[in-house]
A = this chain, B = another copy of it.
Amino acid sequence: MTQSVRQSIIFAKRPAGAITDDTFIVRSSTIPDPGPGEVLTRTLWLSIDPYMRGRLNEGATYTTGTPLGSVMTGETIGEVVASAHPNFAPGDIVAGAFGWETHILSGGDGLTRVPRDGAPLSTYLGVLGMPGTTAYSGMKDIGQPKPGETVVVSAACGPVGATAGQIARRAGARVIGIAGGPEKCRWVTETARFDACLNHRGDLDAQLDEACPDGVDVYFENVGGAVQAAILKRLNTHARVPVCGLVAQYDDPDPRPVLNLNLLLYKRARFEGFIVGDKPGRFAEWRTLAAPLVASGELRYCEEIVDGLDNAPAALRGQLTGRNFGKLLVKVADL
């Protein structure tokens, strides 16, 4: 399908708490032509990720936020349709972080070429992209799971959690997932092959008592909130807690629970926040390691696909309340 106009989703109004209908607006404009050194891509896939909520806040979280009035931040996979850049030619498939638009004009910075006939293109936004690399970086640098240890992963059905758990399992750990509802839990144990998966909508304390009789050595933290509180009290001596996300509390102006440092001291535990963008070298490293495992089916992933760029805001809203199942993607156009 060839479009004649470009559609862009603009960050229009800062949300006070949850995203509302007027947070974003759609803008139409003429598809631009690349100037010298520029490349024009046609967006195929847009990734929807929880960190996007932070970009809508006043003031910095990791980086400066998305400015009001500009195109919303986001990772995409696109096809080059016109190029005045020496490294890219029409027909190339590229991954990059350029925003919620049907057509993206860029100087090529941060674009990486992706094989047309390798793993499914969408996986370069999930298990082989930012979420998968995040899981790899958090486990390698902070979690450091050892054979026989107990590793708990929250949001275990999401692309970070599912990958983090499978990495820990390959390292010989016993891996317990946490997810919302029996359907997600079934995917986590049957497809992603975690040792167990607990439904946080049930009695999490009782389930943790049964699943983690020897305590928790690594907690890969994706959600915060009540799930965190239940797990922190079970940490073993020398526990490691990679703090990757706190999606349950991003909308909360005064987040709970919080960590009593006495626990951290007595357990000699390590808590560390991280973002994958701080170690750009991890991306290529992980892609090399993981692409064959995705191809062979050893590394499992799950995608939920929403059709059409217009639906991206609703998709993000749903994700922040845990409604999606697996890696959330917007299919913007067919290849």
Chain A residues in the interface with B (C-beta under 8 A): 54, 60-62, 221, 224, 228, 238, 243-246, 249, 255, 258-262, 264-275, 278
Asked if A273 and B278 sit within 8 Å, CB to CB, the answer is no
Using Cβ atoms and an 8 Å threshold, which residues of chain B touch A61?
A: 266
- Report the bound CA distance from A272 to B271 in whole Å: 6
Pairs of residues from A and B, 3 with the lowest C-beta to C-beta distance, nearest first: A265-B273, A258-B258, A270-B272
Using Cβ atoms and an 8 Å threshold, which residues of chain B touch A245?
A: 265
- Report the bound CA distance from A7 to B243 in whole Å: 51
Asked if A243 and B259 sit within 8 Å, CB to CB, the answer is no
- Report the bound CA distance from A265 to B61 in whole Å: 9
- Report the bound CA distance from A249 to B261 in whole Å: 10
Using Cβ atoms and an 8 Å threshold, which residues of chain B touch A246?
A: 261-262, 265
Residue ID in chain B nearest A269 by CB atoms: B273
Identify the interface centre among A228, A249, A262: most chain B CB within 10 Å of its CB: A262
Asked if A261 and B62 sit within 8 Å, CB to CB, the answer is no
Given the known A-B contacts A224-B261, A228-B261, A255-B260, are A275 and B271 also in contact in the complex, defined by CB atoms under 8 Å? no
- Report the bound CA distance from A249 to B61 in whole Å: 30
- Report the bound CA distance from A272 to B272 in whole Å: 8
Asked if A221 and B261 sit within 8 Å, CB to CB, the answer is yes
Using Cβ atoms and an 8 Å threshold, which residues of chain B touch A274?
A: 268
Using Cβ atoms and an 8 Å threshold, which residues of chain B touch A228?
A: 261
Q: Please name 16 further chain A to chain B contacts, defined as beta carbons within 8 Å, in addition to the given A261-B271, A264-B272, A270-B270, sorted by A numbering.
A: A62-B266, A224-B261, A224-B262, A243-B264, A244-B265, A255-B260, A258-B261, A259-B259, A259-B260, A259-B261, A259-B271, A265-B273, A266-B273, A268-B275, A268-B278, A269-B273
CB distance from A207 to the nearest CB of B (A): 22
Asked if B271 and A270 sit within 8 Å, CB to CB, the answer is yes
- Report the bound CA distance from A249 to B274 in whole Å: 29
Asked if A267 and B261 sit within 8 Å, CB to CB, the answer is no
Asked if A271 and B264 sit within 8 Å, CB to CB, the answer is yes
- Report the bound CA distance from A238 to B260 in whole Å: 20
- Report the bound CA distance from A228 to B259 in whole Å: 13
Q: 9 A-B residue contacts at CB 8 Å?
A: A60-B266, A243-B264, A243-B265, A255-B262, A259-B264, A268-B278, A269-B273, A270-B271, A271-B272
Residue ID in chain B nearest A263 by CB atoms: B273
- Report the bound CA distance from A106 to B268 in whole Å: 29
Residue ID in chain B nearest A249 by CB atoms: B262
Using Cβ atoms and an 8 Å threshold, which residues of chain B touch A269?
A: 272-273
Using Cβ atoms and an 8 Å threshold, which residues of chain B touch A262?
A: 224, 246, 249, 255
Identify the interface centre among A221, A259, A271, A278: most chain B CB within 10 Å of its CB: A271
- Report the bound CA distance from A273 to B265 in whole Å: 4
Using Cβ atoms and an 8 Å threshold, which residues of chain B touch A249?
A: 262
- Report the bound CA distance from A238 to B332 in whole Å: 36
CB distance from A248 to the nearest CB of B (A): 11
